[in-house]
Structure formats: structure tokens, C-alpha cells
Amino acid sequence: MRLSRSVTMFLCKLNLLIQFSHRIEFIFRQTLRKVCRDLRNFIKDVKPDYHFTNISITLDPYSLDLTFNISDDDRKKITARYRNDGLNCYVSLVKPCGKNSEHLLNTNYIDCFSTDFAIAMSSQKTIVQQFFFVNAWELHAKDLMRNVKSQNSLLKVTNSELFTSEPSRIVDFLQLLDPNYLETIKISGDCFMNKLTKITEICELEQFKKAKELEILSFFVTTPLEYFSHFEKVTVCYISVNDEMLRSLKQMFITSPNLSSFSIQFSSYCDRDLISSCFGPPDEQLSNHDTSKWVMMIPGSDDVLLVEVKSSCVQFERKKNN
């Protein structure tokens, strides 16, 4: 059956448009999406290939920034800004070239961002190496994470970092990520809390159980150290340390061969006599005025355990016995 000339021309134009949508850069593709509803739906259906290595989301009281391919080279950085204007939204391209804002009437800026982000992630063909979420405005953070979660499948991310002053956001953040790809979890913020209110819920997440490295620097945790024994590297904050915690850490290095480093930061000064009561006197040759060090054999292993104590930090590290 021969196709009519009009149908043939239509198919040629359609194929040309598909090829064009695949070849143009992300920033021009996003501009094309906002020309009309038909083009927006077309780009969504075609799903051009994206290969973003780094993604950053920054939420503040007035705007939301989405940055792809974070790099020292500005030519590789793409930042779109979604600015809140009551019931409306301004969308502008901050980098690489800058562009006048597009004023979208009756459009919530979080909804607008969520739609754009979902379309970009549905076309992402590679694993994202770095995913950074800055929550500097708690009022809209929950709505933002809920929108991202509802419009996306789990994000394939290797290294993740959350900046927040609200502990309850940690669970929301981790639930965005695919546990089968996640290796590093970093939590930081601009204030300290006396306790991490949902640490039990966090520990039950598959993302927490399967990750290899954990760093929590903005909240004092109260959960037992054994909850972290499956990690390879750990940095956490406690209000203080005691002899039971120190002995527990030593036992973890004996029973968990994958554990290579465990660092505890705390608010009070570390009493070196406390360490000595557990492990004996420090190694005088390795120690100095600011740092005391202990070296111990690990039973059943060729490795040794190096314990290093500074003013407000104690670190356990597995070393090869040279």
C-alpha cells in the first residue's frame, strides 16, 4: 500500500522533529516545551536522552533553583530559577547565558518546577553521580518533596547530600532515591538539635541499609552505634561519648570487616583518661600535644585499629599492619 504524498511529508516532518528534539541541548529543549501545549506534550512523549552527572536543588523563601551538571566550567552548568510570585511563577535561565523571565500566570512555582524536573528525569539515561538538595525554607519543603516523589520513579543516584535544619525532612529526602544505586548519604545543616527525632524511621529505610557511607554533621544522634555497623565509613555527632560506646566501637571493627572508618564528633571536651581506661596508655611515638593515638591489633585479622582523639572528636580507623 502506497502512502499519499501528504502522509509521507507528514512522516518526514515528524521524523525530522524527533531527531531535532534529540539533538538540541537541554536548555533549548526546555524553551521549546514552553512554546505551546502540543510541543510540550511532544517533548514529553519523545523523551530525549539526558546524561546529567550532577543535580542540585536549592529551595529558599522566594525561589527554587534547579542546576544540572555542576562544574567549575560555567559552560557545563545549567541553572533554571523558579520564582514565587503569589499565584504566579517566573521562570528564568540563570546559567549559562541568562535570559529574561517567563511569567506564567496561575502557576505555582513548585508545581512548575516539579513538572519540568519529572520530564528531565524521565529521560535521564545514566546514573546521577551527585544529588544535592538544599532546604533553606522549611515552609514549602514538604510540598516540594511530595511533588517530586509523586511525579518520579526513584532517582538513580550514587552520592546524595541534604542540607536542612529539620530532621523530619531526612526521611522524605531518602525516599526519593533508589536504594540499589545509593552509596553515600550526607546530612548537613545550619543548626544543631538535641536529638534526631526520627532516627529509628531512618534506620529502617532500605536507602539507609544499603548505603556504604554515612555523614550526619548537623544533628546529635541518640541511636546505638550498632545501627551503623553495616557502613564502610561513618561520621556522626553525639552529645558526648562514654566507655561503653568506645568498647562497642572496638567490637564493631572486630565483627564488621567492611567497616573502615568511624568518626564521632561531640559537643564536650574528650577526656583522654576515659580512652586510656578502655585501651591503655596512648602511643607516645604517634601522639603529639594536640592528638592522642592508640594502636591495637584486630583479632583474627592482619589489620590494626588506629584510635585518634582530638579536642572534640574521636576517630576509629582500620589500617593495614605494615
pLDDT single digits (tens) 207-228: 999 999 999 987 888 889 999 9
Judged by phi (left if over 0) then psi (alpha if -120 to 50, else beta), residue 275 lies in alpha
Residue 79 near residue 57 (C-beta atoms within 8 A) = no
Q: How confident is the model at residue 58 (pLDDT cuts 50, 70, 90)?
A: very high
- 50 contacts: CB under 8 Å, gap ≥ 6: 26, 120, 123, 124, 125
Question: In the prediction, which pLDDT does 272 show?
Answer: 76
Q: Is 184 helix (H, G, I), strand (E, B) or coil?
A: strand
Question: To which residue does cell 524536573 refer?
Answer: 117
Report which of residues 102 and 231 the model is more confident about: 231
First-to-last CA distance in the chain? 78
Of 75-79, 100-104, 314-318, the poorest mean pLDDT is in 100-104
Of 91-95, 128-132, 210-214, 300-304, the poorest mean pLDDT is in 91-95
Question: In the prediction, which pLDDT does 14 show?
Answer: 36
Average pLDDT on 179-205 reads 79
Question: In the prediction, which pLDDT does 220 show?
Answer: 85
Question: In the prediction, which pLDDT does 85 show?
Answer: 81
Q: To the nearest whole number, what is the mean pLDDT of the chain? A: 79
Average pLDDT on 152-162 reads 93
Question: In one letter, which amino acid is 235?
Answer: T
In whole angstroms, what is the distance from residue 63 CA to residue 83 CA? Answer: 4
Average pLDDT on 180-199 reads 75
Question: In one letter, which amino acid is 3?
Answer: L
Of 24-33, 44-53, 54-63, 289-298, the poorest mean pLDDT is in 24-33
Q: How confident is the model at residue 74 (pLDDT cuts 50, 70, 90)?
A: low
Residue 90 near residue 101 (C-beta atoms within 8 A) = yes
Question: In the prediction, which pLDDT does 1 show?
Answer: 42
In whole angstroms, what is the distance from residue 166 CA to residue 169 CA? Answer: 6
Residue 142 has pLDDT above 50, yes or no: yes
Average pLDDT on 281-299 reads 88
The rounded percent of the chain whose pLDDT value lies above 70 is 74
Question: In the prediction, which pLDDT does 73 show?
Answer: 66
